[in-house]
Amino acid sequence: MPGYVIVGMQWGDEGKGKIVDYLTRQADMVVRHQGGNNAGHTVVVNVKQTILHLVPSGILHEKVTCVIGNGTVLDPAVLLDEIDMLTAGGVEVSGRLLISESAHLIMPYHKLIDKAQEKFRGKNRIGTTGRGIGPAYADKADRLGFRVGDLFDKGLFAQKLDTVLEYKNAILTRLFDEQPLDAKAVLSEFMGYAKRLRPFLADAVAVVREALGTNQRVIFEGAQGTMLDLDHGTYPYVTSSTTVAGGVCAGAGAGPQVVAGVIGIVKAYTTRVGEGPFPTEQTNDAGEKLREKGREYGATTGRPRRCGWLDVVQLRRAVGLNGLSCVVLTKPDVLGGLDPIRVCTAYEIDGTRTDEWPVSLSSLERAKPIYEDLPGWSEDISCCTRWSELPANARSYFERIEGLLGVPVAIVSVGCGRDQTIERSSPFLPAGA
């Protein structure tokens, strides 16, 4: 039962979409198991760029089945727009995209509350995308949520909507001074979604189990990154779901024994969107060069990303949390021309050196990075197709990362295109292993 988890190892935006698309050449199914449309995965094929927020990145491979699992939260309007965009671009979606009837819906009040909460927090804002993700997950835990399957019982949906809206409208009007939502208008809107979503509905757990049981290769595609995990990230500056590899079990309904490998995606430097501590952030010329050359602007919001040097202290924590089989290194081409290239190998906190990631947010905010400087390279590596073609200093940089993390670098992505990928070793187990 060969299942492979693709997980971001930093604060998201590591390039998971491209890597899922690349690896899907050798897969039968791709499953998105958490998050919502607060994450954007960018895939470039033959110079054409496709940005996906909910549909798994494997959809561009015509023989691959794509599944949106129960651990996700769905904004139906966004999903349907994405389906329309793919269809208009010649991608066959019907019969290939399946949606778990247990996935939760993002309702209109979730987005209103999300934005109002951020405004209410003021200087203590989290930096959310305002897409309603957090409030939707909160309602799931509070047993006030709507599942996709609820759309197909209009009477029950309407009855529940009346009850929930009475509560949500009270919050919107009395606490946040917002206008109340009309139940009839919301019901009409969502019944319209129901008609279009019905053909995609599935028992996703059974579908995934059948694929694994017939020895199909399944890729589990995560969103965001390890350090945005609700439990293990830089709380409260995190997302509202489980982003580490273990989240596959709950978010897709797959037992841990099906996971044959965990493939960690590491950007060759570090970026972060929104608020929260970032020890290696560079608010200087180096950070600006990384942002502009790397085009570090959010695929979902367009917000500029905060940029800094690679942080091995943070990455070692992520390696331990995810149990990595191998690393895929992305965007090292952005580092060309920077010399030296700095790598944080330890922190100094209140005068004491430490190699360990501090759990305390206040300690992390006081952490001063201790750097190791490595020689850079001036060559453009985006045209390299083999490991041997890479400049010696680039290979040394990659090998140093490998040594510091104790995990092999299997693939190096030297550009956004599908063909700009150097496979040093296979991230998959041999057939029959």
Q: Please state which of the four CATH numbers 3.40.309.10, 2.70.70.10, 3.40.630.90, 3.90.170.10 is assigned to the domain occupying 3-92+203-423.
A: 3.90.170.10
Mean pLDDT of 237-263: 95
Q: 104-199: which CATH architecture? A: Orthogonal Bundle (1.10)
How confident is the model over 262-287, as pLDDT tens digits? 999 999 999 999 889 999 999 999 99
For residue 99, name the pLDDT band (cuts at 50, 70, 90). Answer: very high
Rg of the chain over Cα atoms, rounded to whole angstroms, equals 22
Per-residue model confidence as pLDDT tens digits over 15-74: 998 999 899 999 999 999 999 987 666 676 555 677 788 999 889 888 999 999 999 999
Average pLDDT, the chain: 93
Does residue 90 carry a pLDDT above 80?
yes
pLDDT digits (tens, 9 = 90+) for 320-344: 999 999 999 999 999 999 999 999 9
Instruction: Find the catalytic residue in 21, 28, 33, 41.
Output: 41
pLDDT at residue 41, as a whole number: 66
**What pLDDT shows up at residue 157?**
97
Give the distance, in angstroms, between the CA of residue 331 and the centroid of all CA atoms in the same chain.
16
pLDDT digit string, tens, across residues 165-178:
999 999 999 999 99
Active site residue 13: yes
What digits encode the pLDDT tens for the residues 374-413?
999 999 999 999 999 999 999 999 999 999 999 999 999 9
53 as an active site residue: the answer is no
Residue of 13, 75, 114, 229 marked active site? 13
Instruction: Give the residue carrying structure tokens 């024994």.
Output: 257
| Token digits of residue 27 | 């897969």
Is 25 in contact with 395 (CB distance < 8 Å)?
no
Residue 433 has pLDDT above 60, yes or no: no
Cβ partners under 8 Å of residue 35, min gap 6 = 72, 73, 133, 222, 223, 224, 239, 241, 243
> What confidence tier does 215 reach under pLDDT thresholds 50, 70, 90?
very high
Angle made by CA atoms 322, 270, 136, in degrees to the nearest 5: 60
pLDDT over 80 at 91, yes or no: yes
| Residue 46 pLDDT | 53
User: What are the boundaries of each domain within the chain?
Assistant: 3-92+203-423, 104-199
Same fold? 3-92+203-423, 104-199? no
> How sure is the predictor about 302, in pLDDT bands with cuts at 50, 70 and 90?
confident
Q: Which residues pair with 166 in a beta bridge?
A: none
pLDDT at 300: 64
The percentage of the chain sitting over the pLDDT mark of 90, rounded to a whole number, equals 82
The predicted model gives 196-200 an average pLDDT of 96
